[in-house]
């Protein structure tokens, strides 16, 4: 995500342990002690570093994810592990990756892609088109965008470039390979599977890979949406920022949207997730319906 912040596992337990200062009924059975103070430090650190507002109900998830990092780093307590992060440890990236879960699929929220296709047709082939997918996860969303580009322009899609970013380097590595198990593409039409994916010789049994001509439309890079500057050049025609903002509080959302607006063409479109609303940023973006937004200055 933040680059892309992402979603957090829905399963969490809010029960309090009878052991003072510990966070679960099972706390006494844990390998590492995990106090309320430890959990609040984690919440503060992930907010400061990635802008993510971690729910108070995520104690058990946080423990299970970070306990793996304690084992991997040889730390014997959460306090020691978190102290090492604050001292400038290169563990930061793994810390953030551990606390984020990527939920995605090809052509998720499908109502957006006909809107994208029509916008692309209106722009045409007379100039370059730039698209930013700001929460690429394992690649299904940017490749869905690329397929839409190919379906719109056919072989004449060389003027379109897609930058796909995420905060999590692990998922970016998966996305860059463009290889997926068959169950990840089973909902695609047979025509899309035939035209845009490869099976057979040179590919693992039970897997498909995105065709090279689709992969060439997309470049992947790590971007934290909280960074003061994004490594992007030129005005953007489209920003996909879907199912990311719900993990930021309103001030952080507004701060990010303030950066987005001047990066966009006057007629650019921003696509948000189905549960996201930017009414608090009406001076920056106006809704067009179906969680599609235009710059407020563009009428």
How much is the pLDDT for 3? Answer: 53
CATH architecture of 27-98: Orthogonal Bundle (1.10)
- Beta strand 207-210 pairing with 197-198: antiparallel
- Which residues are marked as active site? 65, 166
pTM higher than the cut 0.75: no
Strands of the chain, DSSP E: 129-133, 160-166, 179-181, 197-198, 207-210, 218-222, 236-241, 264-272, 285-289, 292-295
Q: Which two tokens stand for residue 102?
A: 């990527």
Phi-psi region of 138 (alpha: psi -120 to 50; beta: other; left: phi over 0): alpha
pLDDT of residue 16: 33
Strands 197-198 and 160-166: what pairing? unpaired
User: What pLDDT, on a 0 to 100 scale, did the predictor assign at position 262?
Assistant: 95
Which residue(s) pair with 133 in the sheet? 164, 240
Task: Give the pLDDT of residue 173.
Answer: 93
The residue count for the chain? 299
Q: Where are the domains of the chain?
A: 27-98, 112-295
CATH of domain 112-295: 3.40.50.150
**Cα–Cα distance, 135 to 276 (Å, whole number):** 14
The Cα 205–Cα 21 span in angstroms is 50
Taking the CA atoms of 259, 265, 4 and 170 in sequence, report the sign of the dihedral they define.
Answer: negative
User: Which tokens hold the place of 191?
Assistant: 């025509």
Q: Minimal CA–CA distance to 230: which of 250, 187, 260, 193?
A: 260
Count of CB atoms situated within 10 Å of the CB of 107? 19
Q: What is the pLDDT of residues 155-197, one digit of tens each?
A: 899 999 999 999 888 889 999 999 999 988 988 999 999 999 9
Residues 275-288 as b or e (16 or more Cβ within 10 Å = b):
ebebeebeebbbee
Q: In the chain, which residues have pLDDT < 70?
A: 1-29, 88-89, 100-103, 200-204, 298-299
Residue 101: per-residue pLDDT: 62
Inter-axis angle of helices 140-153 and 112-123, nearest 10: 50
List, in order, residues 6 or more apart from 165 with CB less than 8 Å away: 3, 4, 132, 133, 134, 135, 136, 172, 220, 221, 222, 223
């Amino acid at each position: 995500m933040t680059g892309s912040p992402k979603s957090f596992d829905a399963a969490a337990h809010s029960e309090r342990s009878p052991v003072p200062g510990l966070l679960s009924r099972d706390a006494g059975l844990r390998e590492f002690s995990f106090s309320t103070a430890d959990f609040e430090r984690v919440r503060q650190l992930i907010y400061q570093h990635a802008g993510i507002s971690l729910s108070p109900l995520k104690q058990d998830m946080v423990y299970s994810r970070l306990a793996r990092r304690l084992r991997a780093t040889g730390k014997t307590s959460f306090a020691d592990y978190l102290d090492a992060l604050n001292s400038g440890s290169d563990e930061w990236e793994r810390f953030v990756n551990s606390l984020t879960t990527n939920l995605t699929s090809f052509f998720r929220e499908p109502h957006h892609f006909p809107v994208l296709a029509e916008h692309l047709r209106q722009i045409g082939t007379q100039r370059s088109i730039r698209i930013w997918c700001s929460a690429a996860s394992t690649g299904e969303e940017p490749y869905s965008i690329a397929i839409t580009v190919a379906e719109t322009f056919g072989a004449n899609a060389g003027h379109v470039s897609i930058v796909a970013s995420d905060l999590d380097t692990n998922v970016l590595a998966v996305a860059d390979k463009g290889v997926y198990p068959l169950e990840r593409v089973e909902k695609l039409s047979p025509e899309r599977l035939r035209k845009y994916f490869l099976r057979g010789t040179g590919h693992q049994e039970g897997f498909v890979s995105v065709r090279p001509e689709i992969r060439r439309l997309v470049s992947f890079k790590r971007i934290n949406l909280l960074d003061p500057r994004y490594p992007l050049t030129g005005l953007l025609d489209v920003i996909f920022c879907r199912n990311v903002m719900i993990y930021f509080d309103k001030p952080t959302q507004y701060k990010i949207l303030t950066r987005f607006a001047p990066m966009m063409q006057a007629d650019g479109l921003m696509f948000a997730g189905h549960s996201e609303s930017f009414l608090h940023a009406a001076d920056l973006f106006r809704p067009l319906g179906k969680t599609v937004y235009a710059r407020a200055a563009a009428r």
